[in-house]
Structure 1
């Protein structure tokens, strides 16, 4: 009976260290997917969604997408064309978390209305340190929320 990748603490530390070295976006868990794999599925989903939107099959409709946190973060990454580096700064959504994108009626763009949790700077720095000893506590810290950021229509317009 297999209870997941983190049942054996020795293997878990190795897995966590490998994930830190490779990065959360590119690391593929045993018997699972990497963020990059899910990103590809997000892209296919978005292509289908945009075809339906462009074909006026859903004019002025609200759309509800129900998914897990990784898919939600990768959806936003793909939609707003965020970099892998920016993805790595984002914490996962809480259980039953939600994200709202609101259409701007004037230009048709979508504004991110939900405040996203980001890792604190000290945690982002520690994640880059490959010599760090990964303990049970350091792995659990990965899900602790501390600060928030808010994006507007997209990163490019923000930098203008």
Structure 2
């Protein structure tokens, strides 16, 4: 029996690249462009292990007709991570792979002077990680949506644009041609990019983003399709895991609501917009009138 939302991917899985030379020693950035930084031998092993783990998760599905479609950042370390992950999958399981510039790493500037970067990153902690823009580089906010006047129609170039084209690919069945297959989209990217993707998808605030921790090398976040057509992190991941990632109890409750929510529903118990701005506002016109008349609003 098909899922009522069988045209949607069963999972969208965000994977951070394996350990890189830059993770091991930031001096690597002083001589090597960021996009050319290589994986360490440990990073290659992490990626092979991640591939095994992902394969085991997917092959445990009730529907044995599962398939995968990969998106990968164009950086050497993400491409190498995908190559190692790919060893776990037979070609018949892979629908396709696309290199996707919009899930690349944040631009920290060109060759990076070690001592200067140390000072810059300390400034970022004081300024705030979301809006801080690296000299000659980008901020996390730029990754969400960069308007580039040189691009036709000034289309958004980063995460927002990627999400739009991702949904277009899904709607037009470019990545999912056979409804009997369970499709899994796997995005091999970078820590910050994964956090920004989740922020935009789940409509988290900047303040909530600031509390998120970076995924470890080759860690993944699995967004799984719930019964009503919404995606949730809570189907595959535990409360403890999500707390470790920096999600608040309210954000975790929202993920649990999404497990059963109908697509397009609004979570009225999701407090971080209404309560943030309108917690001082009366619940109803009558309550406001009662306050103006000096009444408590309770029956006499």
| TM-score in terms of structure 1 length | 0.67
Match of 2:215 among 93, 99, 103: 93
Moved more, 92-101 or 29-38: 29-38
* 1:107-146 matches, cutoff 5 A: 107-112=228-233, 113-114=236-237, 115-116=241-242, 117-118=244-245
8 Å Cα contact 1:25-1:87 kept in structure 2: yes
Q: 1:37 corresponds to which residue?
A: 142
Q: Deviations over 1:35-82 (max 9, x none)?
A: 011112111111000111122332552111110111111110000000
CA distance, structure 2, for counterparts of residue 97 and residue 25 of structure 1: 22
Match of 2:132 among 13, 27, 48: 27
Q: Does 1:46 align with 2:163?
A: yes
Which one has the bigger strand percentage? 2
Q: 2:52 corresponds to which residue?
A: none
Q: Does 1:15 align with 2:120?
A: yes
Q: Which runs of at least 4 in structure 1 moved beyond 4 Å after TM superposition?
A: none
What is the total number of aligned residue pairs between the two structures?
130
Q: 1:132 corresponds to which residue?
A: none
8 Å Cα contact 1:5-1:30 kept in structure 2: no
CA distance, structure 1, for counterparts of residue 29 and residue 204 of structure 2: 36
Which residues of structure 1 form unaligned runs of 5+? 120-148
- Greater gyration radius: 2
Q: 1:76 corresponds to which residue?
A: 198
Which residues of structure 2 form unaligned runs of 5+? 1-27, 31-110, 146-157, 260-265, 272-300
Greater RCO (CA < 8 Å, at least 6 residues apart) = 2
8 Å Cα contact 1:5-1:12 kept in structure 2: yes
CA distance, structure 2, for counterparts of residue 69 and residue 23 of structure 1: 17
| TM-score in terms of structure 2 length | 0.38
Q: 1:125 corresponds to which residue?
A: none
